């Protein structure tokens, strides 16, 4: 097992990141907030949504395979039911760093998808949010990380 600190440092050390579930209507969508912050912090970030051509003023891709040049890491920000299909695509494309977003409730976490990924050598962070950890964190997200760690929504190990 890898500690959450090691896993988040490795994940956030990747500079080409796809975010699934980015919406055309950004109001209240966690994926859009993650997408915006990663872009602001200098990441080369790609929006993935099969139902949109654009999101956040940028091109939107129907799947991970459609992203020119590929990515090094993926944030899954969709419903848990679609996480396994995304994890399978990550495996097919050789993507070894996946973060299933969760702040409240189940979020995007799918135990089946996490197990599938880990069985194939993918480092899977199954909970929390990339914005809870430096270098992308802000004070509010750090507070959320504290509470989420205490309640088990951010894993100690992955």
CATH number, domain with residue 142: 3.40.50.720
Structural domain boundaries, residue 99: 4-151
Q: What is the mean pLDDT of residues 63-70?
A: 98
Domain count for the chain: 1
Q: Is residue 122 part of a domain?
A: yes
What is the value of pTM for the model shown? 0.93
pLDDT of residue 115: 97
pLDDT of residue 28: 63
Assess contact for 55 and 22: CB atoms under 8 A.
Answer: yes
Q: What is the mean pLDDT of residues 81-100?
A: 97
Q: What is the mean pLDDT of residues 72-81?
A: 95
**CA-CA distance, 53 to 80, in Å (whole number)?**
23
């Amino acid at each position: 097992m890898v500690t959450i600190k090691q896993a988040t440092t490795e994940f956030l050390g990747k500079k080409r990141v796809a975010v699934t579930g980015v919406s055309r209507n950004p109001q209240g969508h966690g994926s859009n907030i993650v997408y915006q912050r990663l872009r602001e912090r200098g990441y080369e970030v790609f929006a993935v949504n099969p139902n949109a051509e654009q999101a956040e003023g940028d091109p939107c891709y129907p799947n991970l395979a459609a992203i020119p040049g590929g990515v090094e890491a993926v944030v899954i920000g969709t419903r848990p039911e679609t996480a396994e299909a995304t994890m399978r695509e990550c495996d097919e494309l050789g993507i070894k760093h996946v973060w299933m977003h969760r702040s409240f409730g189940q979020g995007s976490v799918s135990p089946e998808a996490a197990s599938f990924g880990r069985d194939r050598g993918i480092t899977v962070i199954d909970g929390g949010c990339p914005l809870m950890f430096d270098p992308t964190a802000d004070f509010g997200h750090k507070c959320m990380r504290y509470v989420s760690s205490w309640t088990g929504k951010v894993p100690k190990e992955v």
